[in-house]
Amino acid sequence: MDLVEALNADGALTCVVGAGGKKSTLYALADRLERAIVTATVRIPPFGERVAEVAVTDRPLEAIESAEAWPIGVVAGREGSDRYLGYDPETVDDFARDLEADVSVVVKADGARTRWFKAPADDEPQLPATADVVVPIASAKVVGRRLDEEHVHRPERVAATTDLEPGDRISAADVATVLTSDRGGWKDVPDNAAVVPLLNMVDSPELEETAREIARAVRDRRDVSRVVLTRLIDDDPVVGVV
């Protein structure tokens, strides 16, 4: 199963949340979709060469309709030299409703400051109401690490969602608990959206075993169609599906 099929992203509005691979997931999908829009409802670093063109505009639909190369990055503005500003979720809803059926949208819907694991703040995630798919992400590498700011974005939020205390070792069950919590990966998911959890950085047989343990615990807690295991730096990034 390829990544687009695994995440049901073809022709969909797909939002990525969590930590440990959001931007990599965005670009891996954009590379594999026929016509993809990469955007955000939060701040996002520059796209670099990961998109064919970038439109900084308050009229995103016009920019999309005039695009000559794909994928296209579409953002609301700039913040200094190192970040773009995303749109509010309602703006994404507005332009997504008017897209042709073969155009896909991939959205960065929260931030994690390059950490491997997180639970969202009160004002996160910023999910469009018309999201078709929400992908909560965590790194398999966080299992066995301590609950601290080196590895976890907002560790106090993870502690509040689990039985962990600061400095405790994170278990596979802890990762599954956060991914499936209404205060974690399921926070504010629109009623009609499918949720497809993704475990990234599955870089070895040992990490695949860890990721499968997390995935089984996720499926024990939630009725999901699948949990996707990835190594997103690979040309064929899907390691497995549980």
Query: Residue 148: what pLDDT?
Result: 97
Q: What is the DSSP letter of 237?
A: -
* Domain locations in the chain as residue ranges: 3-241
Strands of the chain, DSSP E:
13-18, 35-40, 53-56, 72-75, 77-79, 83-85, 103-108, 117-118, 133-139, 152-153, 194-195, 198-200, 228-230, 238-241
User: In angstroms, how far is the first alpha carbon of the chain from the final one?
Assistant: 12
Query: Residue 138: what pLDDT?
Result: 98
pLDDT, one tens digit per residue, over 123-155 is: 999 999 999 999 999 999 999 999 999 999 999
d(CA 165, CA 146) in angstroms, rounded, equals: 10
Q: What is the DSSP letter of 19?
A: S
pLDDT, one tens digit per residue, over 196-233 is: 999 999 999 999 999 999 999 999 999 999 999 999 99
Q: What is the largest CA-CA distance in the chain?
A: 52
Query: Residue 113: what pLDDT?
Result: 92
H/E/C letters for each residue in 104-163? EEEEECCCCCCCCEECCCCCCCCCCCCCCEEEEEEEHHHCCCECCCCCEECHHHHHHHCC
Provide φ and ψ at 97, rounded to 5°.
-65, -25
Q: Which regions in the chain score pLDDT beneath 50?
A: none
One-letter amino acid of 130? T
Query: Residue 81: what pLDDT?
Result: 85
CATH of 3-241, one of 2.60.40, 3.30.420, 1.10.287, 3.40.50: 3.40.50
